Amino acid sequence: MLKRNHFYQFSLLGLVLTVLLGACNRQTTRDEYDVVVYGGTSAGVIAAYTAHKMGKTVLIVNPNEHIGGLSSGGLGQTDIGNKHAVTGLSRDFYRKLGKAYGHFESWTFEPSMAEKLFKDYLREGNIPVIYNKRISEVQKNQATIESVTLVNTSGEEGTPQTIRGKVFLDCTYEGDLLPLAGVTYFVGREDNADYNEKLSGYQLPEYHKQSGYHQFPDGISPYKIPGDPSSGLVWGISETQPTPVGSGDKLVQAYNFRICLTDSVENQLPIVRPEGYDSTKYELLVRLLEAQPNMRGLNQYFIWSPMPKRKTDINNRGGFSTDMIGYSHNWAEASHEERQKIYDEHLSYTQGLLYFMGNDARVPDTLRNEVLKWGYPKDEYKNNNHFTPQIYVREGRRMVGDYVMTEANCRSEAVVEDAVGMAAYTMDSHNTQRIIVNGMVKNEGNVEVGGFPPYPISYRALTPKAAQCTNLLVPVALSATHIAFGSIRMEPVFMVLAQSAAIAASMAIDAGAAVQDVDIAALRQKLKSDPLLDGSTPELLVDNDDSLHVQITGNWAVRRGGYGRSYLVATGDDDSALSSVRFTPAVQKEGQYRAYAYFTKIGTLSDHIDVSVFDGNETRQANVKASDIVVIGQTSGEWVDLGTYHLPAGAKAYAEISTRGADKDIVADAMLWVPESK
């Protein structure tokens, strides 16, 4: 039987691993650093690596033993929205994953592969990590943090350790450094009136017959004996009364685990009855199954996404699934002991749900038999009973800085000029509570509103108010409302913002200035000219929206989405009306470049796609077929390799897509030239 996991467990084995990792990093910890990063999340690793590449001494203080946060904690089905928003070292991470799996980029991956790559960054930078320690106290001189005190996360007695730093980065999902540093923050959902929004606060989603959309259909009773209030409420239902739409509260969207299972018999451990199993927790699921007799597919109750090597990333779907609705509200401000209890509750619920689905007779055979094919992978989370130690903290504290990102930013109704990253995902909130509405059980809080292009994130959203703290940057628990954070809160974006924050920290140190006074123009130029922080030639991107470098001939329709803001579509059924789009890069440095074309996947795409590449001397035709474009993960399209070319400096070379020989529609979206030295 699988034992209960402990997300902050500090064992003898953990101590040995810590020593070994420290040895691999070949750098012992000391008492003073230029940059101190709190949290070994994906953002924390990228921030520390960036600070190292900027020539700064850097330390990661990690409250547990897990490196990489959610990206190595089961979230292998990358939530991205639009690849255009992923830049710099964040993009480098997904390119490294691609190389590991034999692709240009990979947005779906195993937890262990992600963890390996994050640890590679740490080893390359000789970056020391203090494991299983949390910051218990902050020492400030007016608005400047001078040092922090570390204690054992587990609460075990030990000698407190003082770490001095010049700039601190809070890269925890919870924003754990904010209150200790005296920085204003918010937990919960703002009232719509606070920031003139429509989607924050109380929201009651509708039920849709085909998919549910995370809601219960009408008619399901919330009482133990259906229709009898005196019998008491079924597990998981709150007695909180409905409130007006948009009204604010302290509720936090539901947490869950992104579950990695495998159907490889050779690599699996069975899903067994967990300790403390209580089948009454799943009574509402039984009632939901009965109310949806035509919904018997596994993906109608879970998002069961395939990962490499016969593994999964399983996420929440429907009225009752992996989200433990209503049990995450206290996490952000909870003590370690309280978080441990919340974690254990989620673990028991999740492992119990998997066992229930595969073994309870009330679950239809089609679902039970499908679940029974799967088990916990032997080669994942070997030190944590083969289950992720990372709970999905979808939101914790959110800083209130000089600039608050809101719904207006997501919709491009408000556009900032000090952008240091972009977001592109749907405004996405999971349900916050399960309540009684007109005598029926209903989920409340789910929002999924998209359809907007990538939008910029303000540098001021990463900095506290100067009067509160002048040497703290917050790239994860940043300054944003509940609904805006729901769009920003994606792992690739956190890594982008972490790189920007670490460069800003280095610039502030060099200038002897507050983080609020960093030269934003210089920061943005550094991100553009040296995205990998190694002095290599940046890749050349030309998007269809770039009017200076794109020449459009013929009849093309503009469609929203694809790569960047839009893509172009032309019909290729008439050779006499040839249409083409020419992408001309501004080549700063002569050399070998590998060319790629981005093709947004549409149902009417011609199987033959005419692409020609001119290198300044001769033209080569690339043989591209729509059948070869396989979109993997939550992306709109994929890059297609067009081969290697020697490009001269200037604007002589180009790539062109035309409707020549097409029997259906042709897409023109973006072109990329990657220096071969990279």
Q: Over range 193-200, report the average pLDDT.
A: 98
pLDDT at 203 over 50: yes
d(CA 166, CA 330): 32
**613-655 per-position pLDDT tens digit:** 999 999 999 989 888 888 877 788 999 999 999 999 999 999 9
Contact of 401 with 460, CB cutoff 8 Å = yes
By CB atoms closer than 10 A (0-12, 13-18, 19+), residue 41 is: buried
Angle 168-42-7 (CA atoms, 0-180°, nearest 5)? 95
Stated pTM of the model: 0.94
Q: Which of 378, 377, 376 is nearest to 350 (CA)?
A: 376
- Model confidence at 7, in pLDDT bands (50, 70, 90)? very low
- How would you classify the pairing of strands 566-571 and 472-473? unpaired
Tokens describing residue 135: 């910051």
**53-111 per-position pLDDT tens digit:** 999 999 999 999 999 999 999 999 999 889 999 999 999 999 999 999 999 999 999 99
**307-347 per-position pLDDT tens digit:** 999 999 999 999 999 999 999 999 999 999 999 999 999 99
**427-486 per-position pLDDT tens digit:** 999 999 999 999 999 999 999 999 999 999 999 999 999 999 999 999 999 999 999 999
d(CA 165, CA 194): 36
- Model confidence at 28, in pLDDT bands (50, 70, 90)? low
Q: Which of 461, 464, 327, 348 is nearest to 405 (CA)?
A: 461
Percent of all residues in the chain with a pLDDT value above 90, rounded to a whole number: 90
- Model confidence at 573, in pLDDT bands (50, 70, 90)? low
Exposure string of 333-369, with b = 16+ CB inside 10 Å and e = fewer, is bbebeebbebbbebbbbbbbbbbbbbbeeebeeebbe
By CB atoms closer than 10 A (0-12, 13-18, 19+), residue 442 is: buried
d(CA 430, CA 318): 11
pLDDT at 18 over 70: no
**228-269 per-position pLDDT tens digit:** 999 999 999 999 999 999 999 999 999 999 999 999 999 999
- pLDDT reported for residue 577: 79
d(CA 431, CA 212): 13
Position with higher pLDDT, 657 vs 630: 657
DSSP structure string for 35-48 = EEEE--BHHHHHHH
